[in-house]
Amino acid sequence: MDPARHPVAGVTIPLVTVLDAHGDPDVDAARPLLRHLADGGVTTLMLAGTNGEGPALSAEAVRSYAAGVSTVWRQMVGTGARVTATAPGAGTAETVARIGALADLGLDAVVVLAPFYFRHTAAELRAHFREAAGCGVPVVIYNSPGYTGNPVTAALVRDLLDEPGIVGIKDSSGDPALFAELCAATRPGFLVAQGAEKQLAAGLRAGAAGLVPGVGMLAPGLCVELFRRATAGDHAGAEALQRGVDRLTAIFGVRPGVSGVAVVKAALHLLGLCPPHATRPFAPLTGVEVAALHETLAEVLPQMSSPSAR
């Protein structure tokens, strides 16, 4: 696989699934957000992940959104555009079915979580990812133990390196020691991406090839510049920009202790980028929460260092 087109390399935005007032995916309403990301220098999208509410959406809804967004994105960005989509499932059968539903869309990869709800042995997780890798689409492992309850260990990744269909891993564990092990447990064509927003610069120092920052939807240029500086060897500059990313994560304090999906969508709505609607049972922000979010954004976004990051 061409490293320049690898689905894990560079800055990947885990895109929200833009919904209409009835809860249906709305590709046309996503256009302002997609233009904002393209103007910020982003080339790669990940659909239907945590920010994209993937596990709460039907396979048909994810397929429809992925087909539409992929077409629009490739038209906007051109030959450098890359699109991946997540295939979550409580078990392997559901995961494989979701991969199958996406197989003919020409995606650059599918992103595969460990099964969720039940706890599984290492052997069971290994079998799960091997079966996903046999579906004929490049697979990126997504380690999100806070959601799945099934952590992907470095030993498991090493066991899977002989699977040519598995091309990388996005690690959102927030564990620096594990992340360093993942970066060390690699082979040609297998790359590692940092999904913990407060550890982007540190992840690049540890050997990450890519970043997957959810708050990058608010300030794509900031994250692209952070990646550029780090890969050019300017780690001090990257750390300075990391502080800007850290300030952005203050938005999650508006509704602490739960998923940030509703908060991110409300923030994007305040910026005029997409509607605020989220899947049930996510509740819309209250007037008090919206006011607090508006105040937080007003404090944070002017501090971004480049015009394209605002």
pLDDT of 66 over the 90 cut = yes
Structural domain includes residue 302: no
Q: Domain with 48 in it: what CATH number?
A: 3.20.20.70
As given in the structure block, the two tokens for residue 255 are 């509704």
Instruction: Give residue 28's domain range.
Output: 3-247
Local confidence band at 5 (pLDDT 50, 70, 90 cut-offs): confident
Q: What is the pLDDT of residues 188-214, one digit of tens each?
A: 999 999 999 999 999 999 999 999 999
Q: What is the pLDDT of residues 73-130, one digit of tens each?
A: 999 999 999 999 999 999 999 999 999 999 999 999 999 999 999 999 999 999 999 9
Structural domain includes residue 84: yes
Structural domain includes residue 253: no
- Report the DSSP beta bridge partners of residue 296: none
Structural domain includes residue 293: no
As given in the structure block, the two tokens for residue 77 are 């960005």
Percent of the chain with pLDDT over 70: 96
Tell me what pLDDT residue 112 has.
Answer: 98
Structural domain includes residue 191: yes
Structural domain includes residue 28: yes
Number of folded domains that form the chain: 1
As given in the structure block, the two tokens for residue 284 are 């819309």
Residue 72 burial (CB count, 10 A)? 18
Structural domain includes residue 138: yes
Average pLDDT over the chain reads: 95
Q: Which of 271, 250, 161, 122 is nearest to 197 (CA)?
A: 250
Distance between CA atoms of residues 195 and 190, nearest Å? 16
Local confidence band at 258 (pLDDT 50, 70, 90 cut-offs): confident
Structural domain includes residue 139: yes
Residue 78 DSSP class: G
